[in-house]
Structure 1
Amino acid sequence: MIKALNDRIVVIGAEGSSNVTAVLTKDGVVIVDTSLFPEKARKVKELVNDFFKRPIGVVVNTHYHPDHTFGNVAFEEFKIVSSELTKSFMESFDEEYLSKLPSIDKIVTPNFLFDEEYEDRNLLIKRLGGHTPDSSIIFFKQERLVVTGDLLFNGFHPEIVADSDLDAWIDALKFIETLKPIWIVPGHGEIANTESLRAMERYLMKMKRLIEGAVNLQDVMSDENFSKRKFPELFGWSLENLLHQRGS
């Protein structure tokens, strides 16, 4: 998927893969997330240069997961922005973690860090947590565009990981809605809207109720907000992670 929302915004993704967003601002092109594969990131870099014919100014990582950061190697010469927590998580990747992923010659970590928030005249980057403790959103004020990272999965089951916090995740989705965005780019899936945020919120709330025993599995799987999402194997994996959290 290569989708130009207008002459200043391009979103690049594929079926289920993480989205890469490029936005032309007065200070140059801002790229959000860099994908899992360095070769794909290099092609994205070429595409962005050809489309905008303006220099890349800043690269932003929404969170530490490799499918959003391993492509950093293609942008090593640029300012790469993330929360301090994102960089810390990336520096803690060990051999066991990396052995389960496509091989990579070099991990390039962010070189411009913030704690909870970074803001300039057109850009707000805010760490909200939820999907992961370091999950951040990027709000382009003039364009009224929010890039959510994996706080939003549109059309796919979300990946609820070992360090996910459902309460913080739900709060993050509510905060995104207060920004009144025109466009929302999810971590995975097609361009979204506020109803997509609400569907994600309902999904997480129902997962909470399932773990608490307030609803049963049949109730969940008969809900179209679950049954119509792609990658159902992620539901089972996420449920295992939540049960492990509850038992620990």
Structure 2
Amino acid sequence: MIVYQNSRITVFQSALYHTTSSVITLDECTIVVDPTWLPQEVREIRDYVDQVGRGWPIYLLFTHSDWDHILGYGAFPEAKVIASEKLHHHPNPDEIVEQIKSFDDKFYLTRDYELKYPVADILIAENGQQVQLGQTLLTFYLAPGHTDDGIVTVIDPEGIMLAGDYCSDIEFPYIYSSSSDYVATMSQLHQVLEKHDIRVLVPGHGNITTDASEMKTRIDQSIAYIETLRQHIIEGNQEVIDAMIEGVPFPRNMKNYHTSNQEQIRKELRLQ
């Protein structure tokens, strides 16, 4: 599962949706980010943490509340959880757990841990909030748009940015919460790149990048997709809208998300 590794971070990638999970080994603790998907994949991540963790405290960092990103929570019962305040106070946590159980039932999957919704120990409530873990400083940026409870995390001085379901090289924006918030989050990430020396960007789905120009390109492409889609919806250019995703990978599935984005933006524009 390992697709990228340096002296501090190991990035695992699931066979499903190119979903990433990261393990960051610091001087006094281990941070596990969104451990996920198939039971044997979660087990591989857990085994790796046990191997490299040296018995240090474990922190689970959840980038947002989508069920595919929180389903490994129960595999780390001793960990302290870092998440946004909005994730912690999600209005329908039982519904998210039910989505996990429905997935496991559909594919006859069994897990050796309890399925439950995360309870946060460290709540991120403010933009730019910082948390000191041992000698390492983490800076968190509120990142609504995909969901309303997302956070982007920067780990200095390692130069790591954990982007959650943003900045993917295989997915255009999936807008579950607000297209305007999504654009604002992307604009904020440009500022994050200027403020921090980011050397590794980890998206929730797709491939990591260590190229600074590629990071900026991914942000710009996300903004362009939303602004272009919104304008064509206003003008009623459905043929052009349909053509926007020509050539995307996995087109049969991507089309569904493109359609969902249109419905979301039409709702925001009060066109339906």
Aligned-residue offset at 1:11? 0.7
Match of 1:156 in 2: 171
Shift, 1:142, TM fit = 1.5
The residue type paired with residue 187 of structure 2 is D
**Moved beyond 6 Å, runs of 4+:** none
Query: Counterparts in 2 of 1:58-77, with a 5 A limit?
Result: 58-77=59-78
Indicate the residue corresponding to 2:234 in structure 1.
212
Instruction: Give the conservation status (yes or no) of the 8 Å contact 1:118–1:126.
Output: no
Segment drifting more, 154-163 vs 123-132: 154-163
1:186 aligned partner:
203
Match of 1:229 in 2: 248
Match of 2:130 in 1: 118
Larger radius of gyration: 2
Mapped partners of 2:267, 2:152: distance in 1: 27
Does the aligned pair in 2 maintain the 1:37–1:70 contact within 8 Å?
Answer: no
CA RMSD of aligned residues (A): 2.8
Shift of 1:163: 4.8
Structure 1 residues 151 and 172: CA distance shift in structure 2, 3 A: farther
- Say which SS state the counterpart of residue 188 (structure 1) adopts: coil
Q: Distance in 1 between matches of 2:92 and 2:32?
A: 24
Determine if contact 2:186/2:219 at 8 Å carries over to the other structure: no
Q: Deviations over 1:187-234 (max 9, x none)?
A: 110113412222222222222323332x834445555xx433324222
Q: Percent identity?
A: 21
5+ unaligned residues in a row in structure 1: which ranges?
none
Shift of 1:71: 1.0
| CA drift at 1:36 | 4.3
Structure 1 residues 157-176: aligned runs within 5 Å:
157-163=172-178, 165-176=181-192
How far off its partner does 1:94 sit?
4.1
Q: Gapped runs of 5+ residues in structure 2?
A: 105-113
Deviates further, 99-108 or 18-27: 99-108
Letter in 2 for 1:70: L
* Letter matched to residue 159 of structure 1: Y
Residue aligned with 2:185, SS: helix
Q: Distance in 1 between matches of 2:147 and 2:188?
A: 11
Contact map agreement 2:71 2:115 (CA 8 A) in 1:
no
2:221 aligns to what?
199
Aligned partner of 1:150: which letter? D
Q: Which amino acid aligns with 2:50?
A: N
What's the CA shift for 1:124? 1.2
Q: Call closer, same or farther: CA 1:106–1:93 in 2, change over 3 Å.
A: closer
The DSSP-based 3-state class of the residue aligned with 2:140 is strand
Q: TM-score normalized by structure 1? A: 0.83
TM-score, with length taken from structure 2:
0.77
Q: Which amino acid aligns with 1:246?
A: L
2:14 aligned counterpart, secondary structure: coil
Which residue in the other structure is 1:241 paired with?
A: 264
Aligned length: 244
> Following the alignment from structure 2 to structure 1, what is the Cα–Cα distance between the partners of residues 96 and 13?
28
Provide the C-alpha distance between the structure 2 equivalents of 1:176 and 1:229, rounded to a whole number of angstroms: 28
